């Protein structure tokens, strides 16, 4: 049986950033993923300026490698469209920051190739984890192909349906803090703004979810809708039909799709929102990214926090001096929420307000027009920074 200091389960942004951050630590790392790379991930593909910040903080010159990475399109604004069709643009240009949109099949391959640059990282691909057994001297991870791997500690970065969380944690999915999302790639959508804004359309029967259209390289677009899972359970909407209906009939949208062509069938996936605190650790394990439910409850963005949690997890493992007791690991939970809870909670408050169409119109018109709220909504701030800015 192969033995490692650290087993990272999941090679998405969270798992790869943990592997990249462990570079130079002398720890042997298994980077396990059920898929072979490159692989697709259902997503809006938007990389906020905070993602760029996070990449700049990773070793192996990840930030400058991302500058050179070509499969992305810049975007210099975020457009919020309210139920009454008025809109507010948050300019990234004015703040001297840039966001990007990059198909996840390309962006995740970029992150994966950074992660395996480190000689201490061994990729183990193509077979998902089946069980994890706890022993006094470590964990034994059994893969679906029958292979077993031993590790001192496991980082669960295996996404929204995390097997690591299911096996090792008692927390269950809460529909009130979960969103259902659909994505479809298109070619030939027209009407994007000059600054390539990513567009969030808050239409009445999706609130607080929204319909999105994001520009992609090569005249393509990422189009989709998201709705709270508790609303899906209650109202039982046919989300695929809803998406088709908006594209074909919505007065604000239909003309822009007149000559557009769908490049794939509609695909769906879940978004575990970070609007409720969870247990993120236990004896010999930490949860990262979507496995830890760290998605922004208003925008649905989770890539920045996935990368941030990968960095925090790696720093914690390096400083833990091999003390992986449940009590000691709680320091990771505290650090994650110290950095992220202020922003997650603020976005949750706005999400609650956006459930009401009248308030949603007001928020888009007045609050999104406010410079402070704009800063808070688009940028990743720590709880302390948010408190300090509100005080000011």
Ligand X SMILES: Cc1cc2nc3c(=O)[nH]c(=O)nc-3n(C[C@H](O)[C@H](O)[C@H](O)COP(=O)(O)OP(=O)(O)OC[C@H]3O[C@@H](n4cnc5c(N)ncnc54)[C@H](O)[C@@H]3O)c2cc1C
Interface contacts to ligand X, rule CB under 6 A = 9-15, 32-35, 41-46, 128-129, 157-159, 163, 181, 183, 224, 269, 271, 289-291, 295, 300-303, 306
Largest CA distance in the chain: 63
Helices 13-21 and 303-319 sit at what angle, rounded to 10 degrees?
30
Provide the token pair at 274.
Answer: 């970070």
Residue tagged 């790392």 (tokens): 29
Total residues belonging to the chain = 392
| Cβ distance to ligand X smaller for residue 132 or 253 | 132
CB of residue 162 vs ligand X: minimum separation in angstroms?
A: 7
The H or E element spanning position 271 is strand 267-272
What's the min distance (Å) between Cβ of 161 and ligand X? 6
Distance CA(193)–CA(183), nearest Å, equals: 21
The residues near 46 (Cβ < 8 Å, ≥ 6 apart) are: 75, 99, 100, 101, 198, 214, 222, 301
Question: Least distance (Å) from ligand X to the CB of residue 362?
Answer: 25
Query: Which C-beta is closer to ligand X: that of 144 or that of 322?
Result: 144
Residues 6+ apart with CB under 8 A from 144: 34, 127, 128, 129, 130
Listed residue (38, 12, 29) closest to 306, CA to CA: 12
DSSP β-ladder status, 198-201 and 178-187: unpaired
Question: Which residue is nearest to ligand X, using beta carbons?
Answer: 302
Q: Minimum CB separation from ligand X for residue 392, in Å? A: 28
**Which CB, 35 or 328, lies closer to ligand X?**
35
Supply the minimum distance, in Å, between the C-beta of residue 41 and ligand X.
Answer: 5
Other CB atoms within 10 A of residue 146 CB: 8
Min. distance of Cβ 262 from ligand X in angstroms? 16
Q: Pick the closer one to ligand X by CB: 149 or 361.
A: 149
Q: Name the residue nearer to ligand X (CB basis): 154 or 386.
A: 154
Token output for 81:
């469209």
In angstroms, give the least distance from the CB of 145 to ligand X. 11
- Strand-pair category, 178-187 with 77-81: unpaired
Of the two residues 295 and 313, which places its CB atom closer to ligand X in the complex?
295
Tell me whether residue 173 or residue 359 sits nearer to ligand X (CB atom): 173
């Amino acid at each position: 049986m192969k033995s490692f200091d650290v087993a990272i389960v999941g090679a998405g942004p969270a798992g790869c950033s943990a592997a990249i951050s462990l570079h130079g630590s002398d720890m042997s790392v298994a980077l396990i993923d059920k898929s072979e790379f490159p692989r697709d991930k259902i997503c809006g593909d938007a990389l906020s300026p905070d993602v760029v910040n996070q990449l700049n903080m990773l070793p192996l010159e990840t930030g400058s490698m991302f500058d050179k990475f070509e499969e992305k399109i810049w975007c210099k604004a975020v457009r919020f469209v309210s139920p009454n069709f008025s809109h507010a643009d948050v300019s990234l240009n004015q703040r001297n920051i840039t966001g990007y949109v990059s198909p996840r099949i390309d962006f995740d391959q970029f992150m994966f190739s950074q992660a395996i640059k480190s000689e201490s990282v061994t990729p183990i691909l193509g077979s998902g984890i089946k069980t994890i057994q706890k022993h006094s001297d470590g964990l034994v991870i059994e893969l679906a192909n029958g292979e077993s791997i031993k590790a001192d500690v496991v980082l669960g970065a295996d996404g929204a349906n995390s097997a690591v969380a299911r096996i090792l944690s008692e927390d269950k999915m809460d529909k009130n803090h979960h969103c259902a999302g659909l994505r479809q790639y298109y070619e030939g959508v027209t009407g994007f703004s000059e600054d390539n804004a990513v567009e969030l359309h808050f239409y009445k029967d999706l609130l607080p979810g929204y319909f999105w259209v994001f520009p992609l390289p090569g005249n393509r677009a990422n189009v989709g809708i998201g709705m709270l899972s508790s609303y899906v359970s209650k109202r039982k909407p046919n989300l695929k039909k809803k998406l088709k209906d908006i594209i074909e009939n919505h007065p604000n949208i239909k003309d822009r799709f007149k000559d557009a062509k769908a490049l794939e069938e509609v695909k769906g996936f879940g978004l575990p929102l970070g609007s409720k605190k969870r247990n993120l650790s236990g004896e010999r394990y930490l949860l990262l990214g979507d496995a830890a439910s760290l998605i922004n409850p208003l925008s649905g963005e989770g890539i920045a926090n996935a990368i941030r949690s990968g960095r925090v997890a790696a720093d914690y493992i390096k400083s833990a001096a091999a003390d992986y007791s449940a009590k000691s690991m709680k320091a990771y939970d505290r650090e994650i929420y110290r950095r992220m809870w202020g922003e997650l909670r603020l976005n949750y408050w706005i999400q609650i307000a956006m459930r009401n169409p009248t308030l949603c119109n007001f928020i888009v018109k007045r609050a999104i027009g406010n410079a402070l709220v704009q800063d808070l909504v688009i940028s990743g701030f720590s709880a302390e920074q948010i408190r300090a800015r509100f005080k000011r």
